[in-house]
Structure 1
Amino acid sequence: MQAIDAVAQILKTEGVENLFCFPANTLIDACAKVGIRPIMARTERTLINMADGFSRISNGDRLGVACVQSGPGSENAFGGLAQAFSDSVPILMLPGGVARRSHGIPTHFEAVPNYGGITKWVAQVNFPDRIPAMMRRAFSLLRTGHPAPVMLEIPTDVASEDIDDGFNYKPPEKIKPAGNPSDITASVKALLAAESPILHAGQGVLYADGTDELIEFAELVGVPVMTTMAGKSVFPENHPLSLGASGHTGTGMVKHFLGKADLVFGLGCSLSQSVMSTPIPDGKVLIHNSIDELDINKDYAADYAIIGDAKIVLGQLIDEAKKQLGGDGRDSDAVAEEVKTVKEQWLAEWMPKLTSDETPINPYRVVWDLNQAVDRTQTIVTHDSGNPRDQTLPFYEAITPHGYIGWGKSTQLGYGLGLIMGAKMAAPEKLAVNIMGDAAFGMAGMDFETAARERIPILTIMFNNSALGGYEKHMPVATERFRTKFLSGDYAKVAEGLGGYSEKVENPADIIPAIQRAQKETEAGKPALLEIITREETDFSLGI
């Protein structure tokens, strides 16, 4: 058989269901022959975003796989893979490559020297008989340790060469390391000795499927839980010990409890310092759990460290806490009451905006009404870059794992559209909602046609304030003299023209009925877009 057919057979053996792609690449037809469905997007970046969303919702157990053509396809895909790398998402990328005899000759684009900084491993398949071993290593790296994209470039001449039909391939198992027992003992002792500790849960707990263990541990030790932006939804935000999520913006509960904490226990997180991460104030005892040793002592000095899979580590922490506590859990009533009081005060401060009847519509009213309009146990929501992220993250209440996809260590406009399409494919039974601004639609909106054509019934809620919100701070002269920050467009008409259902919403009282009508359209198999005419909102619930 041809080498490219061997790649397709290995993907089939690995349980791959879809190939997110843009032609021309011979892998597309090879996969179609073995029953793997090609999903073609309008742009290479979007198809990577779709693979990203698919992997996230599946905890990396079902992997997003993507392919593009040699040269311009690889060039155009760079932004998508860079975003996935920054957000620690496992994706298998299989671009074509120029024939081996043309390597090193300008102006041919070669993936290996260019993608090294945004992949866990990138290599060229230089001989057909290396395919089984290289694919095995790729899947092993995707399943083990720190999640990140892996890329294998397949030159066109290698793809068409023959390989023995009887090649041997066995899918590698996922390896999950446990924490060092002495580290577990010391960390629990420090936690129980603290007067006002806080649990700081990240995306690693989601990937480890550790929600049940996180809830049990928090209740056992009586400690409140905040999540990172990427970790949002790993701990139910209607739980009495939930402080909600925090990034650049966040809840009032996080601000209150993180400020007063004497110990912060990071679980399944990188504890990275960035504009989209809530900083940890000085003077805290810090316990840090990550599956990646490169995270430890990176941006914050760890007083205690546990390297291991978050679910397994949480199980160890539960056992050790029971041992040190003598089997009985701590009373958390006082902490839960303080959480409740702070939450009520914070929401009371924001309620005028969350329930505003003003027009143009306040974007906070849209987020608040979305909470009321949908069954949050059966819904996945994601934001987009910019103001929609900052307005949605604190106030949309996620109550089930992956009920919200938080992202943003890189902040590419338009990323959320492909992300939610991939998420819908991974969980077709769920209502899948992305909230984006008009600027983000300009970056990725043509791929709404992909949702219609490929029968991926998502719901897009678009905040149209006809502006790049807040950008006058970065370009005041250009905005004043040339209106550079302002935008225009009738996006409901665009969505209709691309094959979807659409409505324009201008009255706050119409938000919930419009969401419910749009949801019925998605249940009938049609993507929907609600263009909501909003005001430019300048107030934010900042995470610091």
Structure 2
Amino acid sequence: QCNIDEYDINRMYPTTHAVIGDAKATLQSLVKELGNGSSEKKEQIEKEIASTTEQAMAQYHEVYTSNAKPINPYRVYGDLMKVLDRNNSFVTHESGNTRDQLSTVYETLIPRGFLGWGNVSSLGFSFPAVTAAKLAHPDRQCVAVIGDAALSYMLGNFEVLTRLQIGLTIVHINNGGFSGYGPGFWGEGHDPFTFDVLGPEAINMSAAIKEIGWKTERVTEPSEVAPALERALAANESNQSAYIEVIASQYPLYGDWAG
């Protein structure tokens, strides 16, 4: 772990190796040091890193192609990485499950291609984040992956993108519950009265958001995730925002860092 403040070391998760310093300066020094080493040693280190990464990610890769219904959220993340031009895109998540899962598996190929944020953070922040990214990089594909609770925090602002003709995509992992409040795959929770939400059989968010002027789809089949993403990105190219509602499962798998 590299952090400029020693009090943040070993704070959220066990730290095997700690470096106190500015991240940019530390990485520059590391690159310089590695550049002075032999190419043989460098290749060995790269192989060790690749092997360790592959072992750690194996459990996620197994479900990238899952055909389970309701749709496994990792199927969505896997297809998102296939469909996006990751050399010309921006992705962020929400506070909650999508943060814990997407931050673990999303493979970024360019600087500022992924925004990971928060631990206990403001719900709905992904909306201004992805909007700002689109304004800063109009030619990039810009996507925010959100959960049930976050949608309530941003819904009133969707009209702005229609009015200003800003094309980005919101992917909603609709698993019918607010993470952490009531009992679920995350544990016992702390407030069961705020956990249950009306499911997709009672409320059709895709139909509602369509009336705001967005391109919308409700996806229930795993095989339709990638095509829906492609159609959404095509709409974005015409300056129309898109909302994809994925009817997903509550899947109990996170990175170790998420606890």
What TM-score do the two structures reach when normalised by structure 1? 0.42
- Where 1:332 maps in the other structure, the secondary structure is helix
| Alpha carbons of structure 1 residues 502 and 274: separation in structure 2 relative to 1, 3 Å | farther
- Where 2:253 maps in the other structure, the secondary structure is coil
The code of the aligned residue for 2:227 comes to: P
The code of the aligned residue for 1:533 comes to: I
The code of the aligned residue for 1:433 comes to: V
- Where 1:456 maps in the other structure, the secondary structure is coil
Corresponding residue number in structure 1 for 2:229: 515
Corresponding residue number in structure 1 for 2:214: 500
User: Aligned runs of 1:295-374 on 2, under 5 Å?
Assistant: 310=24, 315=28, 321=33, 331-374=41-84
- Is 1:397 the counterpart of 2:107 in the alignment? yes
Cα-to-partner distance string for 1:361-405 (whole Å, 9 max, x where unaligned): 011110011011111001100000000111101111111000001
The code of the aligned residue for 2:133 comes to: A
Tell me if structure 2 keeps the 8 A contact 1:276–1:408: no
Corresponding residue number in structure 1 for 2:240: 526
Match of residue 542, structure 1, among 228, 246, 256: 256
Corresponding residue number in structure 1 for 2:181: 471
Tell me if structure 2 keeps the 8 A contact 1:417–1:434: yes
Report the Cα offset of residue 435 of structure 1.
0.4
| Alpha carbons of structure 1 residues 384 and 317: separation in structure 2 relative to 1, 3 Å | closer
In structure 2, C-alpha distance between the alignment counterparts of 1:387 and 1:276, rounded to whole Å: 21
Corresponding residue number in structure 1 for 2:125: 415
- Is 1:486 the counterpart of 2:211 in the alignment? no
Tell me if structure 1 keeps the 8 A contact 2:9–2:15: no
In structure 1, C-alpha distance between the alignment counterparts of 2:232 and 2:10, rounded to whole Å: 34
The code of the aligned residue for 2:49 comes to: V
- Where 2:63 maps in the other structure, the secondary structure is helix
Report the Cα offset of residue 518 of structure 1.
0.4
| Alpha carbons of structure 1 residues 335 and 381: separation in structure 2 relative to 1, 3 Å | same
Tell me if structure 2 keeps the 8 A contact 1:276–1:409: no
User: Aligned runs of 1:20-419 on 2, under 5 Å?
Assistant: 200=1, 266=2, 270=5, 273=8, 277-281=12-16, 284=17, 286-290=18-22, 310=24, 315=28, 321=33, 331-419=41-129
Tell me if structure 1 keeps the 8 A contact 2:100–2:254: yes
| Alpha carbons of structure 1 residues 528 and 277: separation in structure 2 relative to 1, 3 Å | farther
Corresponding residue number in structure 2 for 1:425: 135
- Where 1:376 maps in the other structure, the secondary structure is coil
The code of the aligned residue for 1:458 comes to: L
- Where 1:471 maps in the other structure, the secondary structure is coil
Report the Cα offset of residue 539 of structure 1.
2.1
Report the Cα offset of residue 270 of structure 1.
4.6
CA RMSD, Structure 1 to Structure 2 (Å): 2.7
- The runs of at least 4 consecutive aligned structure 1 residues that moved more than 4 Å come to 269-272, 274-277, 313-319, 327-330
| Alpha carbons of structure 1 residues 423 and 335: separation in structure 2 relative to 1, 3 Å | same
- Where 1:353 maps in the other structure, the secondary structure is coil
In structure 2, C-alpha distance between the alignment counterparts of 1:272 and 1:409, rounded to whole Å: 17
| Alpha carbons of structure 1 residues 511 and 536: separation in structure 2 relative to 1, 3 Å | same
Cα-to-partner distance string for 1:431-464 (whole Å, 9 max, x where unaligned): 0000001110011221121121122211000011
- Where 2:121 maps in the other structure, the secondary structure is coil
In structure 2, C-alpha distance between the alignment counterparts of 1:490 and 1:270, rounded to whole Å: 46
Tell me if structure 2 keeps the 8 A contact 1:470–1:538: no
- Where 1:391 maps in the other structure, the secondary structure is helix
Match of residue 145, structure 2, among 435, 439, 443: 435
In structure 2, C-alpha distance between the alignment counterparts of 1:527 and 1:348, rounded to whole Å: 34
Report the Cα offset of residue 420 of structure 1.
0.4
The code of the aligned residue for 1:363 comes to: P
- Count of equivalent residues: 249
In structure 2, C-alpha distance between the alignment counterparts of 1:348 and 1:470, rounded to whole Å: 26
Cα-to-partner distance string for 1:178-217 (whole Å, 9 max, x where unaligned): xxxxxxxxxxxxxxxxxxxxxx4xxxxxxxxxxxxxxxxx
Tell me if structure 2 keeps the 8 A contact 1:384–1:413: yes
Report the Cα offset of residue 541 of structure 1.
2.2
| Alpha carbons of structure 1 residues 278 and 423: separation in structure 2 relative to 1, 3 Å | farther
Q: Runs of 5+ in structure 2 lacking a partner?
A: 183-187
Report the Cα offset of residue 345 of structure 1.
2.4
In structure 1, C-alpha distance between the alignment counterparts of 2:205 and 2:165, rounded to whole Å: 20
- Work out which structure has the larger RCO, using CA pairs closer than 8 Å and 6 or more positions apart in sequence: 2
In structure 1, C-alpha distance between the alignment counterparts of 2:46 and 2:117, rounded to whole Å: 28
- Is 1:459 the counterpart of 2:169 in the alignment? yes
In structure 2, C-alpha distance between the alignment counterparts of 1:274 and 1:411, rounded to whole Å: 20
In structure 1, C-alpha distance between the alignment counterparts of 2:147 and 2:115, rounded to whole Å: 17
Tell me if structure 1 keeps the 8 A contact 2:93–2:145: yes
In structure 1, C-alpha distance between the alignment counterparts of 2:14 and 2:115, rounded to whole Å: 21
| Alpha carbons of structure 1 residues 502 and 317: separation in structure 2 relative to 1, 3 Å | closer
Tell me if structure 2 keeps the 8 A contact 1:363–1:534: yes
In structure 1, C-alpha distance between the alignment counterparts of 2:230 and 2:40, rounded to whole Å: 43
In structure 1, C-alpha distance between the alignment counterparts of 2:248 and 2:103, rounded to whole Å: 18
The code of the aligned residue for 2:20 comes to: H
Tell me if structure 1 keeps the 8 A contact 2:79–2:225: yes
